Amino acid sequence: MSVGWRQSRHSGQRDLLRSTNWRGVFRTTNWRDILRSTNWRNRMRRDAAFVLVLLCVLQQANGQETSPLPTFEELEAEGAIIGEIRINNQDIFDLEDPRENNALYRLTNKLHIRTRPSVIRRALLFKSGDPVSAQVMEESERLLFSSGFLFEAIIRPIAYHDGVVDVEVLTRDTWTLDPGIGFSRSGGDNKSSVGLSELNLFGTGIAIG
């Protein structure tokens, strides 16, 4: 294709566009019939119904997210039964916290063996199917915290439906390996000792040393 032929073709297209009476075209076009033939009303009704349904769903979801769960005292008064018990044990340091996300803390988490969920579950004073008792929940928290290998222990309801409450046991480990070095002097002799104690051997809750 030659350049001259392309230029003549484009020139003919421009002349055709210029010669077309566009005002006449728009005036003679029956826009009213076109709009009538397109079912705009039904389409707008469907769109409005879809928007209303979407708003209702979002409102219900927002209400479910923001509605607070009853306390253990309230659940006990309602005669609630314990359903699922979820053990959520965390490492020593929370790496999602920028203040704790550094090389030393990451290394500590890698070296540390996290407490096994079965160890935490055995320390609980309740099980699935038991009636809710606020006092039992508090005592279980106290026992977990006093174990020596947990930095914190929180027991809380996470879901409540049809008289059954699901419970989460949230714990965070602490560093349990304790190297001990001692010096003493008796009768002119110097003595030294080195010891090692571990309160949570391999995450089993067994203390040695």
Helices (H), 78-112: 103-111
- pLDDT of the chain along its 209 residues, tens only? 444 444 555 555 555 555 555 565 555 556 566 555 556 566 666 666 677 767 766 666 555 555 689 999 999 999 999 999 999 999 988 888 899 889 988 998 888 889 999 999 999 999 999 999 999 999 999 999 999 889 999 999 999 999 999 999 999 999 887 655 544 445 555 554 444 566 777 778 777 65
State the CATH architecture for 72-174. Answer: Roll (3.10)
129 close to 196: Cβ distance less than 8 angstroms? no
What is the model's pLDDT at position 192? 47
- Phi-psi sector, 203: left (phi>0), alpha (psi -120 to 50), beta: left
What is the model's pLDDT at position 4? 45
Residues 6+ apart with CB under 8 A from 119: 203, 204, 205
Write out the two tokens for 154. Answer: 């929180």
Query: What one-letter code names the amino acid at 84?
Result: E
What is the model's pLDDT at position 198? 66
What is the model's pLDDT at position 2? 47
What is the model's pLDDT at position 108? 85
Domain ranges (residues) in the chain: 31-67, 72-174
What is the model's pLDDT at position 57? 63
What pTM does this model have? 0.59
